[in-house]
A and B are shown apart, each in its own frame.
Chain A
Amino acid sequence: MVEFVDITLLVLLGITAFSIIRQKNLFAAVMMMGIYSLLSAGLFVVMDAVDVAFTEAAVGAGISTILMLGTLALVGHSEHQPQHRPILPLFVVILTGAVLVYGTLDIPPFGDASNPAHHHVAPHYLEESEHEIGIPNVVTSVLASYRGYDTMGEATVIFAALVGVLLLLSLGPRPRRVFLNGRWITVAASEKDASEEGVENAQEDSVQASHEEEYLGDANG
């Protein structure tokens, strides 16, 4: 029964991945990527990694699909015809895939009790978590207590990612301050000329910017 579920999920994953590659409509491709994430979440459930499956379903199928759609609203829905021949990229991808498959030949069998991963600190966590931490979900006690440093690092990485996104996307060119007719005036950065016309245009720009917030609703309509 488990084999049947595994094979079904993996075949569906393969079909989905292939159709994402073939798909020229980016909107459909984004939707297929959401399905891909959901199928991966299903695979994690089969492997008893429910916490990972939960995260994959929420982030992969939920938030990242939304962000991709937000990006599509900016860049358009259809893929441009590639200018180059696909031979070299195909060769690189096949080579990388072959190396990765070769790498899996060495790893110990999945779920084997004699795997090195089950003989380092894992037995201590599983046996002592109930007395030392006292909560039933060992995943949470490892995540938040035994490996508390790592989780703090993750939270910091997420915060750093936001700082990066804001630096790249949100902050436009800074407005300039110019000295005009005896007083300081703020001019939008796009205005090269600090004449009175320029100042008027800058004011129009700021009016437009306040309408900008309604953009999302328009894009959906």
Chain B
Amino acid sequence: MDDRVILRVGAKILIPFILLFALYVQFHGDYGPGGGFQAGVIFAAGFVLYALIYGLGNVKKVLPPQAVYICSALGVLLYAGVGYVTMALGGEFLDYGVLAHDAEHGQHRGILLVELGVLITVFGVMVAVFYAFAGRRRVDT
């Protein structure tokens, strides 16, 4: 671990930009290519890079497995929750028009929320699957 200075410094420089780029992809998804799914994968890639350079133990201090599991369920709950809120406000399931005073603003708000739900779920699942794969020990045959 000690002799890989270039990797460690390079990763340290890159990771903030990767996370920031993920947020850009998330919130720019209304205007250009991208959205919750891609943003979630890129956000997870930042943590995977950290794990590859600094080891799984260190990334688990930053992001405990429990938090990741909660994330992966929370995103789906947020998505479905938006659907139930629109029903409670008198619309149909996932009919975002009722979320604001006029239909177009409601659509904006709804899309923002469900894309956030997708981001949280995809991020959680990608990191959790990585933990599951990387946390196993080699079986000697």
Chain A contact residues, CB within 8 Å of chain B: 50-51, 53-55, 58-59, 62-63, 66-67, 70-71, 73-76, 131-137, 139-141, 143-145, 148-149, 151-152, 154-156, 158-159, 161-162, 165-166, 169-170, 212-217, 219-221
Contact = CB atoms under 8 A, between A and B. Distances in A.
Contacts of B136: 74, 169, 215
A170 B54 CA distance: 22
Interface residues of chain A: helix, strand, loop or mixed (majority): helix
Contacts, number: 171
Given A70-B134, A145-B96, A216-B134, A137 B80 contact: no
Nearest to B111: A144
Interface of B: 1, 25, 29-35, 37-38, 41-42, 44-45, 48, 51-52, 54-57, 60, 69, 72-73, 75-76, 79-80, 83, 93-94, 96, 103-104, 107-108, 110-111, 114-115, 117-118, 121-122, 124-126, 128-139, 141
A107 B39 CA distance: 34
Contacts of A155: 75-76, 79, 117-118, 121-122
A70 B133 contact: yes
Contact of A216 (B33, B42, B51, B121): B51
